[in-house]
């Protein structure tokens, strides 16, 4: 374990993980880009680099996003309505294999725990054990949430959903 992460290492982490971390944070708050940026700034301020920087980033993003959501709920009704308009979760597909609007709607209808498991697993590439540590659940519970969410998406979208290839 080195004392600090090099600028090159932070740049690599940003390039590889920031888009998925934004998607991950979007589940809880309406300012996911800010949450992710703050997490990376906090990472650069660590005197000792975390043993698992990716896992550390997910944990910080999750906690910060939950805190940001709590703060957002304390704001007035007008600000809450304005903040609720967020970017779609999926970019429109040129080959129309996946309808971005329908996929976004289907994801928003899933319970938060299922969305978290799906985003962290499919886009984040995290194992069920890693997701369990993040969410404070068992790996079996996360696995069950993931597959129930995938089944619900398949039913709503009437299509096969991709599965992660990484083993736990």
- Considering the domain architecture, whether residues 2 and 80 belong to the same structural domain is answered as yes
- Considering the domain architecture, whether residues 144 and 66 belong to the same structural domain is answered as no
Q: How far apart are CA 27 and CA 8, in angstroms?
A: 29
Tens place of pLDDT per residue across the chain (168 aa): 456 889 999 999 999 999 999 999 999 999 999 999 999 999 999 999 999 999 999 999 999 999 998 887 776 555 555 545 666 666 555 555 667 778 888 898 999 999 999 999 998 999 999 999 999 999 999 999 999 999 998 888 876 545 544 444
This model's pTM is above 0.85: no
Distances (CA, A) of 129 to 24, 44, 66, 93, 126: 17, 26, 21, 31, 8
- Considering the domain architecture, whether residues 45 and 6 belong to the same structural domain is answered as yes
- Considering the domain architecture, whether residues 79 and 6 belong to the same structural domain is answered as yes
Query: Looking at residue 168, what is its pLDDT?
Result: 46
- In the listed set 51, 70, 87, which residue is the last one of a domain according to the structure? 87
Query: Where in the sequence is the domain holding 27, given as residue range(s)?
Result: 1-87
Question: In total, how many domains does the chain have?
Answer: 2
- In the listed set 56, 71, 87, which residue is the last one of a domain according to the structure? 87
- Considering the domain architecture, whether residues 133 and 64 belong to the same structural domain is answered as no
Domain of 101, CATH number, reads 1.10.10.10
């Amino acid at each position: 374990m080195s004392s600090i992460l090099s600028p090159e290492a932070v740049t690599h982490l940003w390039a590889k993980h920031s888009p998925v971390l934004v998607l991950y944070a979007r589940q809880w708050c309406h300012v996911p880009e800010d949450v992710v940026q703050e997490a990376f700034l906090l990472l650069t301020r660590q005197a000792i680099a975390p043993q698992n920087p990716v896992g550390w980033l997910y944990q910080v993003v999750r906690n910060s996003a939950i805190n940001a959501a709590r703060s957002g709920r304390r704001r007035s009704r007008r600000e809450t309505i304005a903040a609720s308009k967020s970017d779609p979760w999926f970019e429109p597909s040129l080959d129309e294999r996946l309808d971005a609007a329908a996929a976004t709607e289907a994801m928003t209808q899933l319970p938060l725990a299922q969305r978290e498991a799906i985003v962290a697993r499919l886009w984040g590439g995290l194992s069920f054990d890693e997701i369990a540590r993040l969410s404070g659940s068992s790996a079996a519970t996360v696995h069950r949430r993931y597959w129930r969410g995938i089944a619900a998406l398949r039913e709503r979208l009437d299509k096969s959903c991709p599965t992660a290839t990484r083993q736990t």
